[in-house]
Structure 1
Amino acid sequence: MSCTLGLLRHAKSDWETGRADMDRPLNQRGSRDAPRIGRWLRSRGSWRPQLILSSTAVRARQTIAAVIEQAGLEDVELRWEDGLYLASRRALLEQVRALPPACNSVLLVGHNPGLEELLEDLSRTPVPITDSGKVFTTANLALLQLDSEWKNADRGSAELLELVRPRDLE
């Protein structure tokens, strides 16, 4: 049995608010990019998560709310996970390995560097780098097809199916 894992980095957030990191909202670009990813998911149609796990940070909450609305995912179970806030690659991998076996399609919403490191770790092929030299920038969505069940997720155990960047959708 193979599983599909979506990794979604929160959209661009506002650094000018003077708020605690956890409470930073999306900025103008983030508010524009998150719905683009949702519209892409709706147009794709062939992948739909059965479960969404999201960081509780304001920017992650706002990102997934826009994606859910634009993608028509209102009926998908959404769980807020405090442990996804700034989680390490290792912590994220443990989250993936603990996913319910009956659920074969999950979207994880979180932060770098953990998400980027998890993506690079799981993918058996190199992840394309942007012109700016970065791998997994804000509002990027990666879809990975794991070779087997969640509990067996490990280095090189997935194929990168898609890497969607909002600027490529303009």
Structure 2
Amino acid sequence: MKRYLYIVRHAKAEDSSSFFGDFDRELTSSGTIDAARMGKFLADKGLKPDLLVSSSAARAFQTARIMAEQLHYEYEAIKTTRDLYDNGPKAYLAAVNTAPEKCRHLMVFGHNPDITYFAEYLTNYDIGSMSKGSVVTVEFTNMDWEEISSRTGKFISYDSPKHLKQ
């Protein structure tokens, strides 16, 4: 049996200001459009996610909600955790390792540089730096979520809003 992990970097967010802390930064209008575009792109490819897990930081959760809408996933069912905010790639691994057994298509939303390191850790594929709003798709064959660790995934694709505009 195959399982698929979609690793999503939040879309473009407003710059830091003295009014809001980094955790509370929201998406810009172009970030909102890019998140919707990526969600539609994945929906058009036939993605029907079983579970969405997002950092509870505003920009990541907004990205997850917008993509959920495009994917016909109930946004109230999005699982949020502060652990995916600035806690390193191990936090992403913990989120994946604790996914329910019945889940076959898992999406995780987070932040750079941790999310890029996590994708490279799983696949041993040199991604560079995930751009805002981008998605890395990873395939796992004959593995439970709890067994996933370093180099156990197969890199399938890297898609970004910039690629969709071309």
Normalising to structure 1: TM-score of the pair? 0.88
Report the residue type matching 1:151 in the other structure: E
> How far 1:141 moved relative to its partner?
0.7
SS in 1 for 2:62: helix
The equivalences for 1:28-39 within 5 A come to: 28-39=29-40
SS in 2 for 1:160: strand
Distance, in Å, in 2 between the alignment partners of 1:139 and 1:160 is: 18
Aligned residue number for residue 68 of structure 2: 68
8 Å CA contact 2:38–2:67 kept in 1: the answer is yes
> How far 1:108 moved relative to its partner?
0.5
> How far 1:157 moved relative to its partner?
0.7
The equivalences for 1:17-166 within 5 A come to: 17-18=17-18, 19-45=20-46, 47-74=47-74, 77-127=77-127, 134-147=128-141, 148-166=143-161
Report the residue type matching 2:36 in the other structure: P
8 Å CA contact 1:40–1:71 kept in 2: the answer is no
Q: Structure 1: which 5+ runs fail to align?
A: 128-133
Q: Figure out how many residues of one structure are paired with residues of the other and give that number.
A: 163
Aligned residue number for residue 130 of structure 1: none
> How far 1:118 moved relative to its partner?
0.7
Listed one character per residue, the Cα deviations across residues 47-75 of structure 1 (whole Å, up to 9, x for unaligned) are 22101111111111211121112222237
Return 137-146 or 26-35, whichever deviates more.
26-35
Superposed CA RMSD in Å reads 1.8
Percent of residue pairs bearing the same amino acid type? 28
Q: Structure 2: which 5+ runs fail to align?
A: none
